Amino acid sequence: MEEKFEPKIIAFLCKWCSSAGSDLAGVSRMKYPPNVVPITVMCSGSISPNYILSAFKDGADGVLVSGCHPGDCHYIKGNYYARRRITLVKELLEFIGIEPERFQMSWVSAAEGAKYTEIIKDFVKELEPLGPQNKLRSNL
């Protein structure tokens, strides 16, 4: 039998909201697919496009960037800056022919464990039909 494709997701989560949200999902024993490797960063505003590209280069099938809801950023404005920057990254990736489903952004607060699990579930579902991401994968 052919092995089922298990997409690998790299999730950049801000420490104050999204990462706390994912913790909540964990301690509340909510079920979600184990396909995600979370990386906690201080703020969504600290995520450089380099991080995103290098995740794809190292074999991520999908990348998620998640921060606090607008107005809730621990550093007041970080997520607003992120929103602009990530828009540009997203547009550029689509422009060069990367499937739009592969790169997503979300707002997840510390209380939204359930939302986090939904996002991951949907993300995995969307990635499955696409198969592995080889376009940007390192060919060194």
State the burial class of residue 91 (Cβ atoms within 10 Å of its Cβ: 0-12, 13-18, 19+). Answer: exposed
Judged by beta carbon, residue 23 or residue 126, the one nearer another protein is 126
Instruction: Annotate each residue in 20-49 with x if it binds another protein (CB under 8 A) or - if it does not, as one string.
Output: -----------------------------x
Among another protein, ligand FES, none, residue 41 binds (CB under 5-8 Å by kind) = none
Residue type, position 111, single letter: A
Site residues for another protein, window 77-136 (CB under 8 A)? 77, 80-81, 83-85, 87-100, 104-107, 119, 122, 135-136
Binding of ligand FES by 80 (CB under 6 A): no
Nearest to 98 by CA among 89, 107, 106, 111: 89
Applying CB under 6 A, among 74, 85, 115, 121 the residue interacting with ligand FES is 74
Among another protein, ligand FES, none, residue 130 binds (CB under 5-8 Å by kind) = none
Nearest to 89 by CA among 67, 74, 104: 104
Binding of ligand FES by 68 (CB under 6 A): yes
Judged by beta carbon, residue 28 or residue 87, the one nearer another protein is 87
Binding of ligand FES by 78 (CB under 6 A): yes
* Residues contacting residue 58 through CB under 8 Å, at least 6 positions apart: 137, 138
Binding site for ligand FES (CB under 6 A): 14, 16-17, 43-45, 67-68, 73-75, 78-79
